[in-house]
C-alpha cells in the first residue's frame, strides 16, 4: 500500500503546480450544478459511448503494451476528450491547460524511462531493489497522469446524475485502478503475454462498477454481465431472494478492492475513505466549497427509471462469491466485497500485538479482536479460544476428543505422558527458565514445572510422586511412630517415648 500513499503524495505535490487546478474547480462546480441527466452511469449503455470503446481499448492496450508508448496516447486522449466535448458544454481553454500539463508530465516520464533503460545497460548486476524502486516511480507518475487524465475527462461528464459522492468515488476508484492495474498488467505483458487478451480482460471489467470509467468499456462489460446473467438463471434460487435478472452484477478488480481510499479530491488527488471527509477537505480548496449546498450530504434523487439493484461479484475465480461459480451468491455492497476479499483471499497480515497468534486481513477485525484479546478465557485443547463458555462447549460437543483447556494464567495441564515424575522433582530448578524464553514448548514446560514446584512446597501431601516420599525403606509392618513428615509438632513428641504406632492404612 506504500505505492498508493506515494501516488497521493506525488499528486499533492505535483498538481498544485499545474495551471489546471482552477479550471478543475470550475468544471467541478459545473458538474455539481448540472441537473440534466438522471441516469445512473454505471447502468446505462449509451450509444455515444460506443465510439469510445475502441479508443479506450487502444489506449489501454497502448498503456499495457509498453510504458514508453505513452505519448501516442495523446491522440487518443484528445479524441476522447473531443468526443466528450460533444456531449457537454465545457471550457476549452481550461482543457487545453490540462492537456499541456499532462503532456509535460508525460515527457518527464519518458525521460525517466530512458534513464532507466540506460542504467539497465550499464549495471547488470544491480540489485533488483533499485529496479523495483524505479518501476514504482514510473508507476506512480503514470498513475498521476492517468488520474489527471481521467479527472479532466470526468470534469466534462457533468451529466453524471448520481451524486457528488458517487462521482468522487468513481474518480477515486478509477485512480486506484489506474495506479495499480496498469503497472501490474504491464509487468505481465513484458513476460510475453498477448497484449490484447490481457488488456482486454484486465481493463474492460473493472470499469463496470464505476461511473465514469463506464465510458471506457461499458458495453463490453455489460456483455459479459449479460452472459453471466443468462448463465445464472439456471441456478437462480441460491442466496438472496433476488432473481438473477433483477439485479446487476458488478465485479471490482482485486486492486480496486484492496485500495485503501475510495474518495479522491479532484483537485489535489488526496484520497479519503469517506465522502464526508472529502467534503470537509474540499473546503480548503476555496469558498465555493463552503456553501451549505456543497457541504450537505448529496441526496439521492429518485430517478424516473426504477434503479436496478446492484450486487457484487468477487474477482477470485472459483470463489462462491464469484459470478462464475455454480452456486454464486452475490455480495451486497462494496464494503462486503472488500471485507470478503480480504478475509478470504488475502494474507492475514495484521497480527494481534497482545497474543501474537491471531492474524487478520481486515484491520477492523483485528481491532475487534484486540478489544477482547486476553479476555478470551475459554480455550479449547485444540488452541481455539472463545469469548463465551457456551461457544466453547458447543465446539467441544462438535469435535471428538477436544476438551477445554485450563486457563493459561494457571498452569496448563499437560496431557498424560508428557509430564512424568521428573518434572515434578526438578520444579524448583527450572525456575530460571522463564527468564530466557527460547521456545514456546520450553516456556510451557517451565511454567508447569514452576507450578509443580510450588505445589510441592505448599501442598500438605506432596503429589503422589513415589520417589519424593520418604517411606522408601519401610514396609508395612514396622512403621515408626509419628514419621509423618507433615506433622509440624512431631518434635514435641520425643522419639524415645514408648508409644508404638500402628499403620494408618484402613
Partner 1 sequence: MLSFQSSKNVLSLTEDLLVRIYELLAAESDRKSFRLVCREFRRIDTLTRRHLRVIRIEFLPILLRHWAWGLKSLVLSRATGLRFSGLEMLARACPCLESVDVSYCCGFGDREAAALSSAVGLRELNMDKCLQLTDVGLAKIAVGCSKLEKLSLKWCMEMTDLGIDLLCKKCVDLKYLDVSYLKVTNESLHSIASLLKLEVLGLMACPLIDDVGLQFIERGCPSLKVIDVSRCEGVSSSGLIFVVRGHRNLLELNAGYCLSELSTALLHQMKNLNHLEVIRIDGARISETSFQVISANCKSLVEIGLSKCLGVTNMGIMRLVSACINLRVLNLTCCHSITDAAISAIAYSCRSLVCLKVESCNMITEKGLCQLGSFCLLLEEIDLTDCCGVNDKGLEYLSRCSELSCLKLGLCTNISNKGLSYIGFNCLKIHELDLYRCTGIGDDGLEALSNGCKKLRKLNLSYCNEVSDRGLGYIGRLEELSDLEMRALHKITGVGLEAVAVGCKRLADLDMKHCEKVGDSGFWALAYYSKNLRQINLSYCGISDMALCMVMGNLSRLQEAKLVHLSNCTVEGVELALRACCVRIKKVKLFAPLRFMLSSEILEILHARGCIIRWD
For residue 244, count CB atoms less than 10 angstroms from its CB and return exposed for 0-12, middle for 13-18, buried for 19 or more: buried
Please select the residue that binds partner 1; options are 237, 347, 409, 486, rule is CB under 8 A.
486
* Residues 79-118, mask of contacts with partner 1 (x by CB under 8 A): ----------------------------------------
Rounded Cα distance, 147 and 18, in Å: 14
| Sequence-separated contacts (24+) of 107-115 with Cβ below 8 Å | 107/71, 108/141, 109/67, 109/70, 109/138, 109/141, 109/142, 109/145, 110/68, 110/70, 110/71, 112/137, 112/138, 112/141, 113/67, 113/68, 113/138
Through-space distance between the first and last CA atoms of the chain, rounded to whole angstroms: 75
CB 469, min distance to partner 1, A? 5
Examine residue 424 and tell whether it contacts partner 1 (CB under 8 A): yes
Q: Does 403 bind partner 1 (CB under 8 A)?
A: yes
- CA 36-41-42 angle, 5° bins: 165
Of positions 476, 478, 494, 496, contacts partner 1 by CB under 8 A: 476
Q: Is 436 in the site for partner 1 (CB under 8 A)?
A: no
Question: How near is the Cβ of 437 to partner 1 at its closest, in Å?
Answer: 23
Query: Of 446-465, which residues contact partner 1 (CB under 8 A)?
Result: 452, 455, 459-465
CB of 484 to partner 1, least distance (A): 5
- State yes or no: residue 1 binds partner 1 (CB under 8 A): no
431 contacts partner 1 (rule: CB under 8 A)? no
What nine digits make up the cell of 138?
514510473
CA-to-CA distance for 474 and 94, rounded, in angstroms?
A: 107
Report if residue 247 touches partner 1, rule: CB under 8 A: no
Among the listed residues 466, 478, 494, 496, the single contact to partner 1 using CB under 8 A = 466
Among 295, 474, 480, 495, binds partner 1 (CB under 8 A): 474
* 401 contributes a contact to partner 1 by CB under 8 A: yes
Binding residue for partner 1, selected from 393, 428, 433, 447, defined by CB under 8 A? 393
Per CB under 8 A, does 480 bind partner 1?
A: no
471 scored as a contact of partner 1 (CB under 8 A): yes
**Least gap, CB of 176 to partner 1 (angstroms):** 48
One-character DSSP codes across 453-493: HHHHHH-SS--S-TTTSTTTT--SS---TT--TT-TTGGGS
Of 6-14, 154-162, 324-332, 408-416: span binding partner 1 (CB under 8 A): 408-416
306 DSSP 8-state letter = P
Contacting residue, 131, 384, 402, 428, with partner 1 by CB under 8 A: 402
Give, in order, the Cα–Cα distances in Å from 389 to each of 182, 378, 405.
50, 6, 12
Q: Which is nearer to partner 1, 82 or 485 (CB)?
A: 485
Give the bridge partners for 272, in sequence order: 263
Told to check if 489 binds partner 1 by CB under 8 A, we report yes
Number of residues counted as binding partner 1 (CB under 8 A) = 50
Q: What is the residue whose three cell numbers read 458447543?
A: 394
Cα 117 to Cα 17, 122, 124, 129, 145, distances in angstroms: 28, 9, 11, 15, 21
Output the nine-digit C-alpha cell for 468: 519424593
Q: Site for partner 1 (CB under 8 A): which residue of 421, 426, 434, 457?
A: 421
Q: Which of 412, 410, 407 is nearest to 377 (CA)?
A: 407
Helix ranges, 88-213 (H): 92-122, 128-156, 164-176, 182-190, 195-204
138-146, 172-180, 188-196, 484-492 -> range binding partner 1 (CB under 8 A): 484-492
C-beta of residue 154 within 8 angstroms of C-beta of residue 87: no
Coil, helix or strand at residue 250:
strand
Instruction: Report the alpha-carbon distance of residue 157 to residue 80 in Å, rounded.
Output: 12
Nearer Cβ to partner 1, position 230 or 493?
493
The residue among 129 and 506 lying less far from partner 1, judged by its C-beta, is 506
What residues contact 25, with CB distance under 8 A and at least 6 apart?
Answer: 267, 285, 286, 288
Nearest approach, Cβ of residue 352 and partner 1 (Å): 24
Cell of 291: 456553501
Nearer to partner 1, 72 or 411 (CB): 411
Please say which residue, 260 or 463, places its beta carbon nearer to partner 1. 463
Contact characters 330-369, partner 1, x per CB under 8 A:
----------------------------------------
Q: Tell me which DSSP letter residue 494 carries.
A: -
487 binds partner 1 (CB under 8 A): yes
- Tell me: does residue 413 bind partner 1 (CB under 8 A): yes
- Of the pair 68, 411, the CB lying nearest partner 1 is at 411
Asked whether position 396 contacts partner 1 by CB under 8 A, the answer is yes
* Site for partner 1 contains 390 (CB under 8 A): yes
Does the protein bind partner 1 through residue 506 (CB under 8 A)? yes
- Minimum CB separation of residue 442 from partner 1 in Å reads 19
Residues that bind partner 1 (CB under 8 A): 389-390, 393, 396-397, 401-404, 406, 410-411, 413, 415-416, 419, 421, 424, 452, 455, 459-466, 469, 471, 474, 476, 482, 484-490, 492-493, 497, 499, 501-506
Amino acid at each position: 500500500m506504500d505505492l498508493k500513499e506515494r501516488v497521493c503524495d506525488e499528486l499533492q505535490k505535483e498538481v498544485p503546480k499545474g495551471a489546471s487546478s482552477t479550471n478543475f474547480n470550475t468544471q467541478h462546480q459545473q458538474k455539481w450544478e448540472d441537473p440534466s441527466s438522471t441516469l445512473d452511469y454505471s447502468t446505462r449503455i449509451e450509444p455515444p459511448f460506443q465510439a469510445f470503446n475502441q479508443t479506450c481499448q487502444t489506449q489501454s492496450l497502448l498503456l499495457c503494451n509498453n510504458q514508453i508508448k505513452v505519448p501516442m496516447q495523446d491522440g487518443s486522449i484528445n479524441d476522447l476528450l473531443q468526443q466528450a466535448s460533444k456531449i457537454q458544454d465545457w471550457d476549452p481553454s481550461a482543457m487545453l491547460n490540462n492537456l499541456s500539463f499532462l503532456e509535460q508530465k508525460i515527457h518527464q516520464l519518458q525521460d525517466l524511462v530512458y534513464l532507466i533503460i540506460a542504467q539497465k545497460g550499464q549495471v547488470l548486476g544491480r540489485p533488483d531493489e533499485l529496479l523495483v524502486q524505479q518501476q514504482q516511480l514510473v508507476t506512480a507518475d503514470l498513475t498521476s497522469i492517468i488520474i489527471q487524465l481521467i479527472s479532466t475527462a470526468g470534469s466534462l461528464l457533468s451529466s453524471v446524475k448520481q451524486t457528488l459522492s458517487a462521482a468522487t468515488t468513481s474518480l477515486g476508484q478509477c485512480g486506484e485502478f489506474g495506479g495499480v492495474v496498469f503497472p501490474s498488467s504491464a509487468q505481465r505483458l513484458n513476460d510475453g503475454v498477448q497484449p490484447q487478451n490481457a488488456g482486454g480482460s484486465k481493463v474492460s471489467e473493472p470499469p463496470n462498477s464505476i461511473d465514469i470509467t463506464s465510458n471506457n468499456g461499458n458495453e463490453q462489460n455489460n456483455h459479459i454481465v449479460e452472459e453471466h446473467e443468462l448463465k445464472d438463471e439456471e441456478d437462480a434460487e441460491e442466496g438472496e431472494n433476488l432473481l438473477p435478472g433483477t439485479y446487476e452484477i458488478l465485479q471490482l478488480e482485486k486492486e480496486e478492492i484492496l485500495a485503501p481510499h475510495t474518495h479522491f479530491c479532484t483537485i489535489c488527488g488526496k484520497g479519503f475513505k469517506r465522502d464526508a471527509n472529502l467534503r470537509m477537505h474540499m473546503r480548503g480548496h476555496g469558498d465555493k466549497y463552503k456553501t451549505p449546498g456543497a457541504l450537505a450530504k448529496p441526496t439521492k434523487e429518485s430517478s424516473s427509471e426504477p434503479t436496478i439493484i446492484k450486487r457484487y461479484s468477487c474477482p477470485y475465480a472459483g470463489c462462491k462469491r464469484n459470478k462464475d461459480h455454480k452456486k454464486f451468491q452475490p455480495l451486497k455492497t462494496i464494503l462486503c466485497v472488500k471485507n470478503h476479499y480480504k478475509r478470504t483471499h488475502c494474507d492475514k497480515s495484521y497480527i494481534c500485538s497482545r497474543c501474537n497468534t491471531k492474524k487478520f486481513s481486515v484491520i477492523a477485525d483485528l481491532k475487534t479482536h484486540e478489544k477482547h484479546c486476553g479476555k478470551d478465557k475459554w480455550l479449547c485443547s485444540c488452541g481455539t479460544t472463545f469469548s463465551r463458555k457456551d461457544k466453547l462447549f458447543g465446539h467441544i460437543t462438535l469435535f471428538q476428543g477436544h476438551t477445554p483447556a485450563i486457563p493459561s494464567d494457571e498452569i496448563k495441564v499437560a496431557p498424560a505422558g508428557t509430564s512424568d515424575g521428573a518434572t515434578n522433582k526438578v520444579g524448583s530448578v527450572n525456575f530460571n527458565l522463564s527468564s530466557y524464553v527460547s521456545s514456546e514448548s520450553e516456556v510451557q514446560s517451565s511454567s508447569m514445572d514452576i507450578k509443580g514446584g510450588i505445589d510441592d512446597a505448599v501442598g500438605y501431601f506432596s503429589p503422589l510422586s513415589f520417589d519424593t516420599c520418604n517411606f522408601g525403606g519401610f514396609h508395612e509392618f514396622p512403621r515408626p511412630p509419628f514419621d509423618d513428615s507433615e506433622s509440624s509438632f512431631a518434635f514435641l513428641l520425643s522419639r524415645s517415648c514408648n508409644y508404638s504406632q500402628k499403620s494408618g492404612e484402613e
